[in-house]
Amino acid sequence: MTVSDLLTLTGILLAIIAFISERNREYIFLKLSNFDLGLLVILFLYIHFLLTFGWWRQRIISLQIFEFEGFPSPAAWAYILSISVLTYSIWRIFFGAFPRSRRKGSTTIFVGKDQVLHEKTVLHS
C-alpha cells in the first residue's frame, strides 16, 4: 500500500459520502459513537504515518529503533490496519446497534422530525 492508494481510497469514500442522501449520511454518522469517529480519525492519521514512515525515519533517527529484522514493513502494517478499519466500519454501520448516546437522534430518522414518539417505545424495543 502506498500513499497514492490511501488517497484513492479516501477520494472514493468522500465521493460515496457526497452522493448518498442527507438522511442516509445522517444514519451512518448516528451508527458511530463519538469514540468510534475519533478512533477512525486517529487510525487514519496513524495509517498515513505508517505509509510515510520511510520519510520520517530519515529525518528522525530515533525512529529506527522501531524497526525489527524479519518483521513486516510499515507499509504492510498500514495495509493490515486499513483492512481492519474498513471491516470494523462496515460491521458497525450494517450490523451494529445504535450507541446509547445517539439513540435519541436515531428516532428522528425512522419516525420523522415532526412526529412525536414516546421515548419508552424506542429505547426499550
- Each domain of the chain, given as residue ranges in start order, spans 3-98
Please give the Cα distance from 17 to 31 (Å, whole number): 15
What's the length of the chain?
125
**Residue 114 confidence (pLDDT) above 70:** no
Map grid coordinates 490511501 to a residue. 6
Give yes or no for a contact between 30 and 109, defined as CB atoms under 8 angstroms apart.
yes
For the segment 81-102, the average pLDDT, to the nearest whole number, is 85
Which cell goes with 69? 529484522
Q: Which pTM value belongs to this model?
A: 0.67
pLDDT at 82: 86
Q: With cut-offs at 50, 70 and 90, classify the pLDDT of residue 9.
A: confident
The C-alpha cell at 53 is: 514512515
Query: What average pLDDT does this structure show over 24-44?
Result: 87
pLDDT tens string 49-71: 888 887 787 777 777 777 777 77
97 burial class (0-12, 13-18, 19+ CB within 10 angstroms)? Answer: exposed
Cβ(34)–Cβ(101) under 8 Å?
A: yes
